Structure 1
């Protein structure tokens, strides 16, 4: 795929996601017609956009602590298969790419309270310095999530590749996560929801240079229709020297406080 075509894809995601707020509001205000029986379509398209104070991945900033704009489009079918595209600006050392484009797909299904997900992810960095080694690589992953109650869920994930950032080293990262949504009956404002969530994980790599490390995060969020405001703290046990080895910068690790505002919806919700 050419560099121009990749950037066009990223722009298309942003353009598709920007009208989310108006579209979601219009859908909520529309009154249903009488005596119409709605049938669920076996195919749905989800899309969204996020504005974040930084792009942080496993407690390592991918944007030098600068703000990030992200967007995605995902097609799902028959509550079983899905494929999607995600994009974000990035800013880090070495090859110094300007954007990350992710292409992914897999199988995901909910069995009562249990949701299982397995798939393939290709990470494509664009805008690298001419003549530098490509950072593009792939991962396979598995995710399990269990709804303990209607408001509380727990889960685990594992991601693996044999070619981390195209250097030929095996790497794995895995985490445990949990989320509690505050019951709507306890919220003082109608249509406003709230949650608390946390994650702890580990990154391993078979490399003589790059370090293994542990990461964690915790935060609170507030939802209103298609909008989510998330406030989060994250940290890891990476030292400044290890951070520079890992991402090419000394100050992209350590404790960080972040905020993001996202808008997410789907065609089925807009009907």
Structure 2
């Protein structure tokens, strides 16, 4: 009888242990995954002391504000479609009111490689034509229909050259580019990238444009600033902007070697900066520069502030010898906020 009692007790203990183990497993069972929502929206804004695009100021070295809105559709975790719109305040030679960007593309991810393919349109509304030789029917070399009729069929006021230096500027500077980009995440701290952009008519100069660059970024460990939530990174870019020959609008005058248009100056550009992040905010402090001379910069940009004419800057594409500081070394401080509906609004 004692043996039977001991056996019954042992069986009860084994059964109780199994039941307890089963209950423990059930207690920590994960809930079913949330249904996959493919839609997301990214949006944000920025304030900067200078809006610099590929080494050239777009705001006459003055402050600029920007904002963007980008709906996204995730086919799966490794393939995203997107469209977007953004706007920046600018200061262009043609007195355009702002820059409005419309873009869209696809972002595939393959392991450590994040690709981005798309088309970007740059629109500059509200411009004025500056070229006294471009009066329709004048027969003067350098005349161009863009100074008579806008792409939307509205009459286009014609003036002389820009005040002070006589540079020319079209009313319509809008253009588009196709692009291909890749970012390679090497580990938690280091990433590198490559970018390629091509336009058949860069800034509506009549010249094709091709921009290629390489990038690098180091992200500091999350413990760098303790538990403050502040992050830090260091990043840089080196690129080259190749440009073709402009149309007759920018010709150097009747009987000159470049009466039919000037070979726009190709150039190198680079930047290096440090950034600090906190929640949705980023403060980016950056140095930017190019290898363009002040004379070549004036020929490329038609800078309305170029004033000093020197013999050292006279060239076949810059016969007036005026100089521009729009392409030189500059420091950029940019404060931005970037959010997504899924991450920040739910």
Whether 1:51 aligns to 2:47 is yes
- Mapped contact 1:117–1:142 kept (Cα < 8 A): yes
Q: Which runs of 5+ in 2 are unaligned?
A: 1-30, 129-155, 158-169, 246-261, 304-323
* Distance (whole Å) between structure 1 residues aligned to residue 62 and residue 97 of structure 2: 12
* Distance (whole Å) between structure 2 residues aligned to residue 96 and residue 248 of structure 1: 12
Query: Following TM superposition, where does structure 1 have runs of at least 4 consecutive aligned residues deviating by more than 3 angstroms?
Result: 35-40, 130-133
The residue number in structure 1 matching 2:107 is 108
- Mapped contact 1:159–1:173 kept (Cα < 8 A): yes
- Mapped contact 1:209–1:245 kept (Cα < 8 A): no
The residue number in structure 1 matching 2:342 is 268
2:329 to 250, 255, 262: 255
The structure with higher relative contact order (CA 8 Å, sep 6+) is 1
The residue number in structure 1 matching 2:280 is 226
Alignment coverage as a number of residue pairs: 237
The residue number in structure 2 matching 1:195 is 233
The residue number in structure 2 matching 1:159 is 197
**C-alpha displacement of 1:163:** 1.1
TM-score using structure 1 length:
0.84
Larger Rg: 2
If each structure's strand is expressed as a fraction of its own residues, which one has the higher value? 1
1:73 to 43, 64, 69: 69
Q: Deviations over 1:157-196 (max 9, x none)?
A: 0000111122332110010001111001222352100000
- Mapped contact 2:231–2:278 kept (Cα < 8 A): yes
Residues 95-104 or 131-140, more deviating: 131-140
The residue number in structure 2 matching 1:24 is none
Q: Deviations over 1:16-69 (max 9, x none)?
A: xxxxxxxxxxxxxxxxxxx79544420100000000001100110000000000
Q: Which runs of 5+ in 1 are unaligned?
A: 1-34
**C-alpha displacement of 1:92:** 2.2
TM-score using structure 2 length:
0.66
The correspondence of residues 103-142 of structure 1 with structure 2, limited to 5 A, is 103-129=102-128, 130-131=156-157, 132-142=170-180
**C-alpha displacement of 1:209:** 3.4
1:211 to 265, 273, 280: 265
1:61 to 57, 62, 69: 57
